C-alpha cells in the first residue's frame, strides 16, 4: 500500500512537471534546423513559420541551415540535441520518409525516429519538357514517345532519392518506359539545363518550374498531385492518365524523439493556428503549396504511409541504396 502511494505521488509529480515545463516553454531562443541549403522551399517555410512562432510565443526562433547527405546531416544533429524543445527541425518527404528506405545507414535510430510536430504544407511537382527536344503536349503523347526511344530520353532531378527523382522512377514503372536519370545537386541547376536542352525533361517543384513554364521556356504536361494546382490551374494531373499517380513534396516540423509530449503538443497547436491564419495561408498558396497544419498523431500516421509508399517505389524501380 505504501509503495502504491509513493508510486502514485511520483507519477502525479512527473505529470505536473511536464505540464509546468510546457506552460513555461519557451523561455529562451529556439533553433530550427533546416537540413537543406538556404534559399529553397524548406528554408522559406522554416523562416515563415519561425517568424510567426516568434510573435505568438514571445521568444526568438532562429533558422540554422545544416545541408548535406539528403538531409541526414541536419537530422543527425537533431537526434543528438537535448530533447527539451529548444532544438527542432524541418523535415521533408525526402529526409523523413524516402531516406528511411534509401539509405543503408542513418545518423539516427531508424526505429526511434523523431517526434512529429505538425505538417506545414504539401507541394506538388510538375512534369515539364524542353519543347524543342520533346514535341509531346500531353502525358499520353509523352509515354508513346518514350516507348519509341527506350533509354534514350534523359530526365533531370535535384538529386538521387529526392521526390523529384522518384517521380521519374514512378513514371517509368507505371508506364513501363525506360529513361536516363541525370541527378543534380539542386533543382535550380536542373531546370536550367532542361531549359537549355542539355536534358530533355524533369519533374520539378511547382514554385521553381512555374516561372519557366509561364515564360515559355519549358512545357508543363501534368502536375503530380491528385488535384490540380492553383499556380498552374490549366495543367492536368498525372492521375488523369495514370490512376493513383501521386508524387508530392511536403514539409513539416520535428523534435527529438524524447521531447516531452506536452511541448510537442504546444508547438503543434501553434503551427496549426499559424497555418489556419488567412494571411499565412495566402502566402503558402502563393508559393504553389497547400497549407496544412495537423496534430502530431495525424502527422505520424501520414509519415508512416508516405514511408511505405515510397519504399514500394524504390523497390519496384530497383533504385540503388545509398
| CATH for 221 | 3.40.190.10
The Cα–Cα gap between 286 and 256 comes to: 31
Are residues 116 and 131 located together in one domain of the fold? no
Flag whether pLDDT at 76 surpasses 60: yes
The answer to whether residue 284 is domain-embedded is yes
pLDDT on residue 12: 47
271 and 253 share a domain? yes
pLDDT of 74 higher than 80: yes
Helix, strand, or coil here: 120?
A: strand
| Residue bearing the bigger pLDDT, 104 or 5 | 104
Q: Report yes or no: 302 and 294 within 8 Å, Cβ to Cβ.
A: yes
Confidence of residue 7 (pLDDT cuts 50, 70, 90): very low
Question: What pLDDT, on the 0 to 100 scale, is given for residue 21?
Answer: 64
pLDDT band (50, 70, 90) for residue 3: very low
Does residue 322 belong to any structural domain of this protein?
A: no
pLDDT number for residue 58? 95
Q: What string of H, E and C letters represents the secondary structure of 15-52?
A: HHHHHHHHHHCCCCCEEEEECCCCCCHHHHHHHHHHHH
The pTM of this model reads 0.85
230 pLDDT tier (thresholds 50, 70, 90)? confident
Which residue among 195, 210, 240 closes a domain? Answer: 240
- Give the best-scoring range by mean pLDDT among 184-188, 237-241, 246-250: 237-241
79 and 17 within one domain: yes
Residue 70 confidence (pLDDT): 83
Same domain for 227 and 196: yes
Structural domain total, the chain: 2
Distances (CA, A) of 47 to 80, 96, 105, 255: 23, 19, 30, 17
Q: What is the pLDDT of residue 32?
A: 98
Q: What is the mean pLDDT of residues 170-195?
A: 92
What number is the average pLDDT over the span 76-89?
A: 97
pLDDT, position 19? 52
Question: Is 255 found in the same domain as 107?
Answer: yes
Residue 173 is assigned to a structural domain of this protein: yes
Report the pLDDT averaged over residues 103-132: 93
Q: How confident is the model at residue 276 (pLDDT cuts 50, 70, 90)?
A: very high
Q: Do residues 139 and 49 both lie within one domain?
A: no
Domain membership of residue 169 as a residue range: 125-240
pLDDT of residue 20: 53
Q: CA-to-CA distance for 30 and 34, rounded, in angstroms?
A: 13
Helix (H) or strand (E) holding 127: strand 125-129
Last residue of a domain, one of 211, 240, 269: 240
pLDDT of 25 above 90: yes
Residue 16 confidence (pLDDT) above 60: no
Mean residue pLDDT across the chain: 91
Task: Please tell me whether residues 168 and 110 are part of one structural domain.
Answer: no
Using the 3D structure, point to which of 175, 205, 240 is the last residue of a domain.
240
How far are the Cα atoms of 131, 134, 219, 238, 269 from residue 138, in angstroms, in the given order? 12, 11, 10, 10, 42
Q: What is the per-residue pLDDT for 5?
A: 58
| pLDDT over 70 at 2, yes or no | no
Band (pLDDT 50/70/90 cuts) for residue 22 is confident
Query: How do residues 194-205 score in pLDDT, each as one tens digit?
Result: 999 999 999 998
Per-residue pLDDT at 207: 84
Residue 38 reports pLDDT greater than 90: no
Q: Does the pLDDT at position 257 exceed 90?
A: yes
Amino acid at each position: 500500500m505504501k509503495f502504491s502511494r509513493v508510486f502514485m505521488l511520483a507519477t502525479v509529480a512527473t505529470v505536473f512537471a511536464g505540464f509546468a515545463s510546457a506552460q513555461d516553454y519557451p523561455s529562451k531562443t529556439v533553433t530550427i534546423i533546416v537540413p537543406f541549403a538556404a534559399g529553397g522551399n524548406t528554408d522559406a517555410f522554416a523562416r515563415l513559420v519561425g517568424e510567426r512562432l516568434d510573435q505568438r510565443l514571445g521568444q526568438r526562433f532562429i533558422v540554422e541551415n545544416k545541408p548535406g547527405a539528403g538531409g541526414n546531416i541536419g537530422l543527425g544533429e537533431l537526434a543528438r540535441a537535448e530533447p527539451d524543445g529548444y532544438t527542432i527541425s524541418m523535415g521533408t518527404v525526402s529526409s523523413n520518409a524516402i531516406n528511411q528506405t534509401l539509405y543503408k545507414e542513418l545518423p539516427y535510430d531508424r526505429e526511434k525516429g523523431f517526434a512529429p510536430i505538425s505538417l506545414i504544407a504539401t507541394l506538388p511537382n510538375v512534369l515539364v519538357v524542353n519543347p524543342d527536344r520533346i514535341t509531346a503536349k500531353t502525358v499520353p503523347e509523352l509515354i508513346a514517345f518514350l516507348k519509341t526511344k527506350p533509354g534514350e530520353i534523359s530526365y533531370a532531378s535535384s538529386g538521387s532519392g529526392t521526390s523529384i527523382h522518384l517521380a521519374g522512377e514512378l513514371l517509368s514503372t507505371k508506364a513501363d518506359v525506360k529513361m536516363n536519370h541525370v541527378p543534380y545537386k539542386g533543382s535550380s541547376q536542373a531546370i536550367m539545363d532542361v531549359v537549355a536542352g542539355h536534358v530533355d525533361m524533369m519533374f520539378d517543384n511547382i514554385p521553381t518550374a512555374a516561372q519557366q513554364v509561364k515564360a515559355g521556356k519549358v512545357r508543363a504536361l501534368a502536375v503530380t498531385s491528385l488535384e490540380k494546382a492553383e499556380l498552374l490551374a490549366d495543367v492536368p494531373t498525372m492521375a488523369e492518365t495514370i490512376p493513383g499517380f501521386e508524387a508530392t513534396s511536403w514539409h513539416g516540423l520535428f523534435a527529438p524523439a524524447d521531447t516531452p509530449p506536452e511541448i510537442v503538443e504546444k508547438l503543434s497547436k501553434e503551427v496549426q493556428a499559424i497555418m489556419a491564419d488567412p494571411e499565412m495561408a495566402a502566402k503558402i498558396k502563393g508559393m504553389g503549396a497547400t497549407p496544412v497544419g495537423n496534430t502530431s498523431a495525424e502527422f505520424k500516421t501520414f509519415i508512416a504511409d508516405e514511408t511505405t509508399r515510397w519504399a514500394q517505389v524504390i523497390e519496384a524501380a530497383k533504385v540503388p541504396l545509398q
